[in-house]
Structure formats: C-alpha cells, structure tokens
Structure 1
C-alpha cells in the first residue's frame, strides 16, 4: 500500500517511476491501483505472479493479478526473462504515450522465471535511452506555477467522464502496443508479437490459448504433434489488458475446437482467461474447453499439455465437448 502510494506520488511530480511486488503485497496495493490509472500516471510495475493465501503458498499462480484486471492498468504476460527485460523497456514507452497515459504491469511467473538463472541480451544504456527518451510529463501535478488540489471529492456531474477517458485510452492502446513492438524489433532485432503471438495457427484445426511460461511448454508439444501430422496450434496471449478481442474472435472463428489454459480460477465460474475468450467469441459455434491447472506452483508437464490437445482433437472430431471445465492433474478429479 505505502510502496505504491509513494510511487504514485513520485509519478505525480512528473518523474518516471517503477516498482515491483507479488501476491499478498499486490493485494495490499489494491486500493491504490485505480488511483494510479484514474490520475493517468504511467507507472510501470513488475508483478511476480504467486498464489494468494489461504493456504499460504509462494509458488506460481495467476490468481494474484486477476482481481486487478478492471483497475485500469495495462497488463502483459511474459514467458521468458528476455521478454520480461524487453517489456519493461517497452512498457515505459507504451504507458507514457499521450494516447494511453495509463500505468502498466509486466507479469512474470514466480520461480519459473523469477528464481531461474537465464542469460539475457542486455542492451546498452545509450540504446535504451534512445528507445525511451527522457520523460517529460504533459502536466505534472507538482508545479508551483500552477497549483492544483489532488484527491478531492468529485460529484456525480464529472466522474463518469473520467471513467470514459480511461476506457477510451485502453481501447486506443493496442495500436500503440503494435507500434512500440515494431519499433523495438527494428532497433533491437527482437519481435515479441504485439498483442498476441501465434504459432502454427495458419492451417490449425485446434488451438490452445495460454499465458506466461506455460506457452513455452505448449510450444514443444505443438512441434511434437505437428511432426505426427496433427494440425494443432498455439496462441500466446501476451496482453491481458487491453484484451485482443478482435484478434481472438477472428482466430476462433477458423477453428474446429479451442482450448484455454488457465493458471487461475474464478470460483464457480471458470478460468478468467476462458471467460474472456468466451466473451470475445460470443455467437460463434466453436466448441471451447477450459483447462485449469498448475495452481500453487504445481508443475505443468508435457503430458498435461498432451492431454489438452488430445481432448481438443477429440472434440474437433465429434463436435461435442465432453467436459467444459477440465481440472488438469488434480487429485480426485476426473479430467
């Protein structure tokens, strides 16, 4: 709470700010998150995705960040540490763009990425400065020549317009994200795909949608199944907010079956990523399945991914969903 409060205050003075947190720390920041977006402050924050209590657990799960999807922050999920590094740099340029002017979260899976040693290509400071020039706030709040009051009560006459402004900025963000991704690729030679990254989807009959490090595991199984002549594909969902609705809808419309891997659960409803995909594909008659697993740091194995693709291929063949919500590798629960 106090860490993000200090970050928000610093950003309000017109300086570039960054912070990091995870799990329960993020829960304590919850009150301040919409303040940062409501004040249109381009704070960048790294979130190491960990399970939230109870029970107490420090391993990977996405249930810590999911409650913040409606807080007005942009969110990107990374599947390796090079992507994390690169996206921190890109995040400042995206968040500080006048068309966006919103805070942004860079998500990385706990332990799998946060505590794993991995070589990365470190850009030269001069090159980084060239990509994100010195930040000049369009209207810093701390300006003695133009004093303003912050945190005051706002009556119903004005609040709704501020909500629309945040929504409008979020809807404009995809264009900025694609532009920044292209600029980064041109300067540094690494292209992360923008909103989503498709792998072997052009002629696929079924696809699996995944976020974070799970997409790297799924990548291997796609190669394995392709070698056997099975038309499977992978969609790495990079941006969680803004959600790539049109891109997902277009992709789903071409498939015989679609699966979503969720490392989180909205109790009694399903996985958050699945809910979003189902919303994006509303009206399409494509069978969809939600695969929930890897919670609390449980390993997501190649065998688990094979189960997902096998179920999708079976569904594509029969046109019928055996089970809409599949709890993967869960004791006492039939998958």
Structure 2
C-alpha cells in the first residue's frame, strides 16, 4: 500500500530515484538541488538503497561517472542545477549522442550573470538541443512520478536516450506538498530491471568507445537520434496511460489541456505556474471569457502535432515563459509553438515572460495576460512581448 508524506520537490526526486533501484548514483551538490543527493546519501547510509554512491569533485565528474555506469550496463541517476549543468555540458552532450539512457533531476535556476541563485528555467532551456528528452513538471507528485516514467521511456530499446525531469527551483525544490509514495513492489511491476542492449564495457572484452567518426557515419548517428526522439512521442503517451492505469494519476502525455473544448483563446504554460494558470482560467470563465490552457510538459521532443490539434480553431494564444530566447525577443515556448503551428499570422499571438530570477508569476499576472489576449483576439498577427515585471529603467 502506498504511503502519504509531505515532501519537498527535492525529496520527491530522491524517493522517485530510490524506487527505480539505480545501480550507481553520482552527484555534486549545488543550490537548489543539493538536498536531492543528500537524501539519497542518507538512504544509502541507512541501507535503504543498494546503489553505489560516488562522491565526486564536480558536476563534470558526476556526469562522467554515470556515463561509464550506463556504458557498463547499469541504471544510473544524478541531479544538478544551473552552473552545475553548464560545467557538465561536455559529458552531458556525449550522454545523449552515445544513446545512453538515464534520468537526471534538474532543479531549474537562472544562469549567471547577473549573479543569482533563484528560480528560472534558463538552465534547462539553454541545453534543450543537446539531445536529451526534457519534461517540465508542475508539482512534487509529478516529480516523483516522472522519474519513474522517465526510466521506462528512456530505456525503451527504440529510444535509448537520457531524460531530464525539470522542476522549478525553490517553488518546488524547497516547498513541501502532499506526495503519494508507491510501494516498491508496484514500481517493480511497472519498471523492470534495465537490460542493456548496447555493447557493454567489459574488461575481458576491451573495446574502443567513441573513436573519431567520419561524416557519413555521424550523419547516420544524428538521423537515428532524431528518429528516436520522434519514437519517444508515442512512447510518452503509452507510458502515461500505463502509469495512469496502474497508479491512478494521469498527466496527459506530452501536453495536458484544461477547458480547451470550447476555447476561443488559449494560454500555454510550463512548470509550476500551471496551477496558477488554471485558477486564472476559472476566474476569466466567470467573466464570460472563453479561455483554455495548454500545459506544455515535454519541450524535447516537442509535441508538434498535439500542440497543433489543441490550438485548432483558437482565435488567439499566448505562451507564458520563465526564460528567454536570446535573439528572438520571446520565450522558448512561444518560439517552439510558432514553429509548430506554421501559419501563425492567421491568429493573434504573443509571448509573455515573467518569473525570472525567482520573481513570482501571480494570479494577477496571468489574468492580465488573458484579458490582453481577449482584447486582441480579432487582430491577427504577432504582438509585442508582454513582460510581467518591467525591467528597471
């Protein structure tokens, strides 16, 4: 029988990882991720998990260790944030392009500079084209559940790609919520032990890993990588349904929708702001505004067809981002959605940006975004970016 506890987002990640029975855990502490690995170290010291805990000197080493562990046929886990993610970038990129499946918790944070340790999603979106799958979650229960689902997606023999479970630093990592922790037997039934189908490192059979590769072979690598990303879209939906059937929690797959059946306008949210977004939709509906919400869960692979279908018939839409795309004067969800819908000028659309550097995205912010969208819905085309907190003059 599952048990209920009040857990921080970081502890939710720790419990989720422990339930997946990793063979190797290697990580280096960094705000706001540190307590993920602290809790796992406690589990190890108390004999509650059998994973080999590797204490490393940097995030670069942490990713290198788990890379070797997966090459040797094991299941591995790590976690990081912001500058730690930047430091591990070299082996991080290699992890995906060598097609090594694992799950990493990413407590998202702004990138320096100006100096900040507070919440934002700039770290995660800055590496969205490094070949990893990325899911952005809304609450602490979803953190735990998506780590479990993440291994099942990543380890599928038709996919074999690593996955980041991204959650908002401090807003989720350090705040406690009700979380249902499944029984180990339930997780074991859902997630079988990992059986590597790669060539496995073995001292008795030495082999070269990642030798210099000619362009024609590299093209095949990239082609198969992209094809695996597209395969993952169907697997995400399949695993979501299987998880819902077994555990009773359905997250919608690559996206989730709210009040979209008769919506004339829509907002797209990502991460923990989504709960506030639903409240704003409810308030707007009371005023007669037919607005719906699309929760973007997977940024990679980007669910193009599901986004298109969800926005079909909508007169206007706006994305709300907690990060920016340098050079595009917009947020990444806006840029990705514009690319997905194609003929974007047939609708009114704009990018809204807020919540940078730990700033709150309030109910008033999202309500104001909805009201602006409703006023502009009869004016097709891209509008100016809406900043929830104006920069200091």
TM over 0.5: yes
Mapped partners of 1:113, 1:235: distance in 2: 20
Say whether 1:219 aligns with 2:281.
no
RMSD: 1.4
In the alignment, is residue 319 of structure 1 matched against residue 379 of structure 2? yes
**In the alignment, structure 1 residue 6 sits paired with structure 2 residue 62:** no
Describe the SS at the equivalent of 1:91. helix
Q: CA deviation at 1:131?
A: 0.8
| In 2: Cα distance, 1:320 partner to 1:202 partner | 21
Q: Distance in 1 between matches of 2:216 and 2:200?
A: 22
Contact 1:14 1:142 in 2 (8 A): yes
**Structure 2 residue aligned with 1:104:** 163
Paired with 1:274 and 1:239, the residues of 2 have a C-alpha distance of 14
Deviations 1:117-164 (A, max 9, x none): 112000001111111111111124213464321131112231110011
CA distance in 1 between partners of 2:244 and 2:295 (Å): 18
Contact 1:288–1:324 (CA under 8 A) maintained in structure 2: no
The within-5 A match list for 1:204-215 is 204-215=263-274
Structure-1 residue corresponding to 2:332: 272
CA positional deviation for 1:266: 1.5
| Greater mean deviation of Cα atoms: 300-309 or 321-330 | 321-330
Q: Deviations over 1:297-335 (max 9, x none)?
A: 10111110011101110111x3256842111121458xx
2:347–2:381 contact (8 Å) kept in structure 1: no
In the TM superposition, 1:244-283 aligns within 5 A as: 244-269=303-328, 270-283=330-343
Structure 1, unpaired ranges of 5+ = none
Q: Does 1:86 align with 2:178?
A: no
**Equivalent position SS for 1:31:** helix
Report SS of the residue matched to 1:75.
Answer: strand
Is the CA contact (8 Å cut-off) linking 1:293 and 1:330 kept in structure 2? no
Distance 2:199 2:150 in 1: 20
Q: Secondary structure at the match of 2:166?
A: strand
- What's the counterpart of residue 363 of structure 2? 302
In structure 1, the partner of 2:200 is 141
User: 4+ residue runs of structure 1 moved beyond 4 angstroms?
Assistant: none
For residues 224-265 of structure 1, the C-alpha deviation after alignment (integer angstroms, 9 at most, x for no partner) is: 111222101100000110101011122223111000001111
TM-score (norm 1): 0.96
> May I ask how many residue pairs the two structures share in their alignment?
332
Moved more, 84-93 or 259-268: 259-268
CA distance in 2, matches of 1:157, 1:197: 39
TM-score with structure 2 length normalisation?
0.82
8 Å contact from structure 1 (residues 141, 147) kept in 2:
no
Distance in 1 between residues matched to 2:389 and 2:198, nearest whole Å: 52
Question: Equivalent residue for 1:174?
Answer: 233
What's 1:329 paired with? 389
Cα-to-partner distance string for 1:38-71 (whole Å, 9 max, x where unaligned): 1111111000000111111111111101121111
Q: Secondary structure at the match of 2:123?
A: coil
Q: Is this contact kept in 1: 2:106–2:164, CA < 8 A? A: yes
